[in-house]
Structure 1
């Protein structure tokens, strides 16, 4: 049975490959063959994630989308979560999460009745965990906003600091003609970050012309 691993971290500073070995071991224990691994640094609150949708484009009916935790797949709003589920359903891909034992049955051959039962149970639990992940995201955002407001009021807030060394490296690679994907592989920066720096370079070139 083929599986495609999806690993995600929210920011460029986080290691999206942290759970790679654990997922590889999990797949081996259940006799799954890893067809490909998809890694990106993007917020789970965003529906448009290039690597996730590349995975879905590459997937064939009956294959498994293997994740560490449900929140790696979604911290989406209800509306966006339903859009993602519809896309997954269209591709006839099965979601297996290491932190969701009921999903493990979907990684093993079963009779039609058992398969349908576990699919229904798994779908319900996925919805619940996706809702919990979204609430956790919103709670953390609210606490961060409260902390920033307090720090601003006290004159302590400096905002997010730019990774100057990394961004200069991205600039150099862009000037060398490297692709976004090549740059992401080397720097682990998000596609949005690479695009932002590319735009900055273009603006500088326009100003100098």
Structure 2
């Protein structure tokens, strides 16, 4: 059994590994170790995420997918969440999430290996809670987006909304990191931008302001 920790932050949260110490402590208190960390800045509404895909490709049967909260794994719509669950199920991965205490029992080999009835009950309860938390995560995202939309509409109506302004300081950081030879993945992890935003920034500044050597 390998424990694979997945840490995700949205593009607005620049510190995707803030929960790393918490996950490590949680696992060590249960006499286990985390085999690998998969850290990325990406939206939970996207099914195709680089590090999540790498985790799934690396995983083997009975490995643990460790997360801080279910919303770190998914804010997906129903179809995409069903697809991700199918991938996880086909790999026979076990989700352990710090916000779902019943999932912690997957770390107890005595329960999962020696008692098939307990194992079946545990799986059923966990699936129910995980689906519930996934639905709540999606609803929370939709609610926040709706409030944001309403705020923008009020701002436009009052003549106060000027649109999202670019963070020029972070743009310069992207350019600086690129000039230093960092990869796109490393730039994403350092700046908090997603892959597509880094590419857009590099393309814009390369064309208008900078000459970046490949």
TM-score, with length taken from structure 1: 0.90
What residue is the counterpart of 1:52 in the other structure? Answer: 52
Q: CA deviation at 1:130?
A: 0.6
Q: Deviations over 1:101-157 (max 9, x none)?
A: 110111111223222221121011111111111111111111110111001110111
RMSD across aligned C-alpha pairs, in angstroms? 1.8
User: Which of 190, 204, 207 matches 1:200?
Assistant: 204
What's 2:88 paired with? 88
1:120 to 2:124 alignment = yes
> SS in structure 1 opposite 2:35?
strand
Q: Which moved more, 1:164-173 or 1:72-81?
A: 164-173
Structure-to-structure mapping, 1:91-170, within 5 angstroms = 91-109=91-109, 110=111, 111=114, 112-170=116-174
How many Å apart are 1:14 and its aligned residue?
A: 3.8
Separation in structure 2 between the aligned mates of residue 14 and residue 186 of structure 1, nearest angstrom:
8
Q: Does 1:178 align with 2:150?
A: no
Kindly report which structure 2 residues correspond to 1:25-64, keeping only aligned pairs within 5 A, or say none: 25-64=25-64
- Following the alignment from structure 1 to structure 2, what is the Cα–Cα distance between the partners of residues 171 and 40? 20
Structure 2 segments unaligned to the other structure (5+ residues): 210-214
The answer to which of 68-77 and 106-115 deviates more is 106-115
- Maintained 8 Å contact 2:44/2:72: yes
Q: Would you say the 8 A contact 2:41–2:189 is kept in 1?
A: no
Aligned residue-pair number: 205
Structure 2 Cα separation of the partners of residues 43 and 182 of structure 1: 17
Once the 2 structures are TM-superposed, how far is the Cα of residue 180 of structure 1 from its aligned partner?
Answer: 0.9
How far is the alpha carbon of 1:187 from its aligned partner? 2.5
1:137–1:185 Cα change, 3 Å: closer
